Amino acid sequence: MMLPEEIVGLGRKEIQILWEDHHQSLYNARELRLRCRCAFCIEEMTGRILLDESKVPIDVVPKKMELLGNYAISIQWSDGHDFSVYRFQDLRNRCGCSDCALSFTKSKDA
């Protein structure tokens, strides 16, 4: 599993991760907030989305970020949501840069 060397994003609309292989990923803060999988945002038994997108401000930003061991980052958001957990593996797999998008397309075609 790839680990981050640096995570920058407190108070910003974008969160940048520099991975140990020197790859850089950039995530829109609001899009990341909308992907929260906690029990307040996703119904645990059915997977039904509980989060109302319209209640998440366009300008939501991380107000606190903490590492959770060697597997994830926890983010507290400016909209009052206090506990979102994002696994490094999921973040890396969802990197939207052109190199990763091209790699994903090639792997689907194979």
Question: Domain with 75 in it: what CATH number?
Answer: 3.30.2020.30
What domain range is 10 assigned to? 4-109
DSSP assignment of 50-108 equals ---GGGS-TT--EEEEEEETTTEEEEEETTS---EEEEHHHHHHT--SHHHHHHHHHHH
* Predicted TM-score of the model (pTM): 0.85
Number of domains in the chain: 1
CB atoms within 10 A of CB 21: 9
Residue pLDDT, tens place only, 23-52? 999 999 999 999 999 999 999 999 999 999
Task: Give CA separation, 72 vs 65, 66, 87, in Å.
Answer: 10, 9, 4
